[in-house]
Amino acid sequence: MSTARHDRQETIKKATQLFWEKGFHATSMRNLQDVIDLRPGSIYASFGSKEGLFKETLQFYANASLERLAAHAATSPPLDALKAFITESVSAKKGSSPSDMCMLAKTVAELTQDNAELLAEAKRLLKTIETAFAQLVTKAQQEGALDEGREPQRVASFLQMQLMGLKAYSRATDGKANIKALIDDAFASLA
């Protein structure tokens, strides 16, 4: 039975914060040791390598995103849930989240085939989120809130692309741009 003296989930959470802020390469194991308050031996016993730990933080991040989306979907109609999720993702208050970027998109941007497994994992998780989008779009169509002629997968692609663009753009402009207006423009084509 696991009798670890440190909470694994809590460790992953702290590591996620740091990796999300600084990216994979700019985060050193010594940074991590300080932040998660564990010495190398423990980290390597738990996660095997820097890559192993990073992979778990990616999954942790994606999971948290899916849960946020599900929470919106539980209380709002599908389209409203999607818009609320995207708005919340993009316009999170400065400082409340480690980076203005989506951690998965940031990872895909940063890594190359030198870290093929991590790159593939980030792509896979993005696809998972997109699938969740597509399911909500389908639900919206069944409820009559959206034209049935549109292919759900294509709409989901469009939304995912928009979300990536909005977050990247928001970061590039220090959030000074009129993000709300951009989101409205983006959703206009769905109305």
Partner DNA sequence: TATTATCTTGAACAGTCGCTCAAGTCCAGT
Partner DNA sequence: ACTGGACTTGAGCGACTGTTCAAGATAATA
Tell me which residues touch DNA (CB under 7 A). Answer: 2-6, 27-31, 38-42, 44-46, 49-51
Question: What is the nearest approach in angstroms of a second copy to the Cβ of residue 123?
Answer: 6
Question: What is the nearest approach in angstroms of DNA to the Cβ of residue 11?
Answer: 9
Question: What is the nearest approach in angstroms of DNA to the Cβ of residue 104?
Answer: 20
Q: How far is 119 from 25, CA to CA, in rounded Å? A: 13
Question: What is the nearest approach in angstroms of a second copy to the Cβ of residue 4?
Answer: 31
Give whole-number Cα distances, 89 to 65, 83, 99, 180, in Å: 9, 10, 11, 12
Q: How far is 157 from 168, CA to CA, in rounded Å? A: 17
**CB 154: neighbour CB atoms within 10 A?**
11
Q: How far is 90 from 164, CA to CA, in rounded Å? A: 9
**CB 4: neighbour CB atoms within 10 A?**
11
Query: Would you say 69 and 139 are in contact if contact means Cβ atoms under 8 Å apart?
Result: no
Question: Binding partner of residue 129 among a second copy, DNA, none, CB under 5 to 8 Å per kind?
Answer: none
Which residue lies nearer to DNA by CB, 42 or 153?
Answer: 42
Which residue lies nearer to DNA by CB, 51 or 80?
Answer: 51
Question: Binding partner of residue 160 among DNA, a second copy, none, CB under 5 to 8 Å per kind?
Answer: a second copy
Q: How far is 116 from 77, CA to CA, in rounded Å? A: 38
Question: Binding partner of residue 116 among DNA, a second copy, none, CB under 5 to 8 Å per kind?
Answer: none
Which residue lies nearer to DNA by CB, 50 or 106?
Answer: 50
Question: Binding partner of residue 41 among DNA, a second copy, none, CB under 5 to 8 Å per kind?
Answer: DNA
Question: Binding partner of residue 189 among DNA, a second copy, none, CB under 5 to 8 Å per kind?
Answer: a second copy
Question: What is the nearest approach in angstroms of DNA to the Cβ of residue 18?
Answer: 11
**Among 116, 97, 125, residue whose Cα is nearest residue 20:** 97
